[in-house]
């Protein structure tokens, strides 16, 4: 679409030189044909370094926009971006069926196979699975019954996806208007599972807004886990049942997340960390330590605190 058409669609004023917009992207990854946005102070620092053709931006940050980038002024750039994301959302399926399926692959009845898929040697796909367009499944991977693999997902070699897990669903992202109504942000990224990854039953891994949600080689994810959009999980991590990772969380290698633990978004947990069961991570954590409780602290300090509270309560009674 032309930038002038996007401005008209959003009801925004734009009188500058027109440019063709081919896609949406983040400030630091956008190129000269892509539209990005700045929704506030937290990413305003990235405006000066963007290569985007245009940016949806508030009036207060207009002066930061580079001279080669067009500024599309919006009173609510986040909401405007949500509206535009629908225009660039990819179709859910294609009527065409061009497929590259290895002869050694075993595919059971009632499996849906999309367009432009690649299925490697000795892959097993069990009954009821959905494999969307542009999906790649590496050699010797096993897809159990009723697994959903949405468009553009990449599954490595020797992965195991257990029953009813969902790979590449839309992330939980909304923009809000003045009336408190929620408008969906369409996610156009994907999910990448590297080699030797196992995903438990009924676990959901959301696709990225842009770019990729990545689960690196050797990581094992238990049942009933939620991994949000744009997360990056390092090699050989262990994530136990009912854990939740909020969007853009980054785990280093060999991180262990105990059952019912969780993170807030946009934080980093260092290599070889352990989060005890029900630990609530609300800040960046150094690697090589065991943490627990909420607010998160060293597990040994959490245990001492609980002992003191118990003693205090006992004394009062």
What residues act catalytically? Answer: 229
Name the H helices within the chain. Answer: 3-10, 41-44, 77-87, 299-316
What's the CA gap between 16 and 94, in Å, rounded?
37
Phi-psi region of 154 (alpha: psi -120 to 50; beta: other; left: phi over 0): beta
Structure tokens at 223: 């049942």
Q: What 3-state DSSP class applies to 244?
A: strand
Half-sphere exposure of 209 (CA within 13 A, CB side): 20
Give buried/exposed letters for 270-280 (b at 16+ CB in 10 A, else e).
bbbbbbbeebb
Burial tier of 92 (Cβ tally within 10 Å: 0-12, 13-18, 19+): exposed
Burial tier of 232 (Cβ tally within 10 Å: 0-12, 13-18, 19+): buried
């Amino acid at each position: 679409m032309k930038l002038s058409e996007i401005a008209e669609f959003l009801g925004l004023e734009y009188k500058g030189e027109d440019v063709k917009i081919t896609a949406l992207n983040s400030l630091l990854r956008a190129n000269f044909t892509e539209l990005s946005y700045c929704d506030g102070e937290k990413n305003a620092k990235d405006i000066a370094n963007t290569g985007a053709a245009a940016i949806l931006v508030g009036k207060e940050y207009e002066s930061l926009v580079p001279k080669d980038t067009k500024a599309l002024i919006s009173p609510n750039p986040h909401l405007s971006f949500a509206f535009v994301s629908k225009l660039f959302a990819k179709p859910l399926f294609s009527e065409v069926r061009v497929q590259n399926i290895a002869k050694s692959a075993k595919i059971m009845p009632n499996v849906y196979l999309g367009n432009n898929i690649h299925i490697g040697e000795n892959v097993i796909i069990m009954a009821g699975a959905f494999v969307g367009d542009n999906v790649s499944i590496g050699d010797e991977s096993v897809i159990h019954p009723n697994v959903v693999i949405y468009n553009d997902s990449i599954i490595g070699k020797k992965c195991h996806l257990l029953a009813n897990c969902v790979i590449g669903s839309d992330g939980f992202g909304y923009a809000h208007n003045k009336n408190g109504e929620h408008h969906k942000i369409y996610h156009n990224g994907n999910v990448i599972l590297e080699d030797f990854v196992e995903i438990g039953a009924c676990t959901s891994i959301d696709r990225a807004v842009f770019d990729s949600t990545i689960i690196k080689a050797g990581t094992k994810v238990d049942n009933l886990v939620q991994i949000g959009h744009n997360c990056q999980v390092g090699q050989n991590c262990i994530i136990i049942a009912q854990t939740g990772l909020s969007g853009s969380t980054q785990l280093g290698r060999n991180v262990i997340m105990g059952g019912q633990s969780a993170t807030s978004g946009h934080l980093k947990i260092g290599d070889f960390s352990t989060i005890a069961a029900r630990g609530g991570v609300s800040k960046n954590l150094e690697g090589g330590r065991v943490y627990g409780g909420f607010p998160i602290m060293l597990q040994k300090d959490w245990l001492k605190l609980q002992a003191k509270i118990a003693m205090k309560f006992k004394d009062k009674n």
